[in-house]
């Protein structure tokens, strides 16, 4: 079945540091890949997505590239801010299986210190 593996947190960085959160997946067919973010006290919201191999999703300074050869979708940001402190979830959608639902990783908590 489909699965997503994320690096464990928490990840603690100083403001303006470079961020990488690793995500790898297992899926049949050609899934779409997503990063969702959950800020404190709020619901999950879509951060970025990529729907085919070599696509790069980007939003709010965050980027992730769909790497089919390594089955990865690592999240990166060049310079984090305190306001980026949140929990980040990698997810996939197995369209080829007909399954409409997203499969999520366990989440990675990011703490950015001033």
Partner 1 sequence: GAGVSQSPRYKVAKRGQDVALRCDPISGHVSLFWYQQALGQGPEFLTYFQNEAQLDKSGLPSDRFFAERPEGSVSTLKIQRTQQEDSAVYLCASSLGSAGDTGELFFGEGSRLTVL
The residues that touch partner 1, with contacts defined as CB under 8 A, are 4, 32, 34, 41-46, 49, 89, 91, 93-95, 98-107
Nearer to partner 1, 100 or 114 (CB): 100
What does the alpha-carbon distance between residue 114 and residue 101 come to, in Å, rounded to a whole number?
Answer: 37
Q: In terms of C-beta density within 10 A (0-12 exposed, 13-18 middle, 19 or more buried), how is residue 34 classed?
A: buried
CB of 99 to partner 1, least distance (A): 7
Nearer to partner 1, 43 or 114 (CB): 43
Q: How many residues does the chain have?
A: 114
CB of 15 to partner 1, least distance (A): 26
Half-sphere exposure of 105 (CA within 13 A, CB side): 29
Nearer to partner 1, 45 or 79 (CB): 45
CB of 81 to partner 1, least distance (A): 23
Residue 83 three-state SS: helix
Question: Where is 91: in which H helix or E strand?
Answer: strand 86-93
CB of 16 to partner 1, least distance (A): 28
């Amino acid at each position: 079945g489909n699965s997503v593996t994320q690096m464990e947190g928490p990840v603690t960085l100083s403001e303006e540091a470079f961020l990488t959160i690793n995500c790898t997946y297992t899926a049949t067919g050609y899934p779409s890949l997503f990063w969702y973010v959950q800020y404190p006290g709020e619901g999950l919201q879509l951060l970025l997505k990529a729907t085919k191999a070599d696509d790069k999703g980007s939003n709010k300074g965050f980027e992730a590239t769909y790497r089919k050869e390594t089955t990865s979708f690592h999240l990166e940001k060049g310079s984090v801010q305190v306001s980026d402190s949140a929990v980040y979830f990698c997810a996939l959608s197995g369209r080829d299986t007909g399954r409409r639902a997203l499969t999520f990783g366990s989440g990675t908590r990011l703490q950015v210190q001033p």
